Amino acid sequence: MNKENIAVCFPLLRQAAHVVVFTGAGVSAESGIPTFRDALTGFWALHDPMDLATPEAFDRDPALVWGWYEWRRRQLRITQPNPAHTAIAALAGRLPRLTLITQNVDDLHERAGSRDVIHLHGDLHSPRCSVCAAAHSLCAESGTDSLEADRKISPPRCLHCNNLVRPGIVWFGESLPERAFQQAFDAAGDCDLVLSVGTSGVVQPAALIPEIALQHGANVVHINPQPVRSQHPQEYSIQGPAGEVLPRLMSAAFC
Ligand code: OAD
């Protein structure tokens, strides 16, 4: 971890009136959930997203798609929030205002104590009808946690129109949920600091959030074990795993 960048960044955190924390899969990596694009272990290194994360994939083979998201739900049940989630939840109590925007579909931020999390890409626990969009309640969780990623499971049927229920995830080619989009982009234009944690920043429009903040005069700090190149004078990076960097940044700023 580069300590000198923590020394540069902690005053930005201490002085900020409104901080946006913008998270991606990397914030959950230390809980044991794979990222999408890390070589070898990333979901998209092992599976073709076009088979699992598009409306066309669901039309073609709904049982394959439902089975994969069911596997991810079960994987999440045996997973706990890590020190990065905990630090972000604690940060909300130390700042005048914090907006937490995540691209993740897990509930680890909420389980760590964060409230009002903006889920830009949907949520593993909110499936809905693929035709009438009615919300569907999942049955009480039961059964074994050892389910294979490629086991086909037929999706349930909508109680209102009997069509197939689909995962409540934003798939490639789909629009972001309108309210989440509006809240996230409003916050990006209105904050002093973005902590961009554990994201490759390649999926649009979410990846615009740090850019919008920079355009409005905010500082942006990237936290990632991979080097992130700063392209703007108000852009910084702290290289290291989020579960180590965030607690240190917080204690530098507030202890
Ligand atoms: P990616 O897999 O694209 O990027 C994960 C990032 O986390 C990489 O930059 C890693 O270097 C970094 N990382 C890995 N371990 C970390 C750690 N311990 N601490 C901090 N960072 C770490 O995931 P996202 O950027 O979230 O979309 O991907 C964006 C979207 O692409 C996802 O929301 C998903 C996917 O398709 C949907 O599901 C709709």
* pLDDT, tens only, 206-232: 999 999 999 999 999 999 999 998 889
Select the more confidently predicted residue: 142 or 189.
189
CA of 24 to the centre of ligand 1 (A): 5
CA of 158 to the centre of ligand 1 (A): 32
Residues contacting residue 238 through CB under 8 Å, at least 6 positions apart? 1, 2, 5, 6, 9, 221, 222, 223, 245, 249
The reported pLDDT for the residue numbered 99 is 98
pLDDT in tens, 75-93: 999 999 999 999 999 999 9
The reported pLDDT for the residue numbered 159 is 96
- Say what percent of the chain tops pLDDT 90: 88
Ligand 1 cavity residues, CB under 6 Å: 24-26, 29-30, 35-38, 42, 103, 105, 121, 169-170, 198-200, 202-203, 223-226, 241-242
Q: Identify the CA nearest to 23 among candidates 227, 182, 242.
A: 242
Per-residue pLDDT averaged across 141-162, rounded?
Answer: 80
* 39: confidence class by pLDDT, cuts 50, 70, 90: confident
Mean pLDDT of the chain: 94
CA of 103 to the centre of ligand 1 (A): 9
Whether pTM > 0.85 for this model: the answer is yes
Query: Hey, whose CA ends up nearest to atom 35 of ligand 1?
Result: 36
Query: Hey, whose CA ends up nearest to atom 31 of ligand 1?
Result: 203
- What's the CA dihedral at 20, 24, 29, 31 to 10 degrees? 60
The reported pLDDT for the residue numbered 140 is 62
Query: Hey, whose CA ends up nearest to atom 29 of ligand 1?
Result: 203
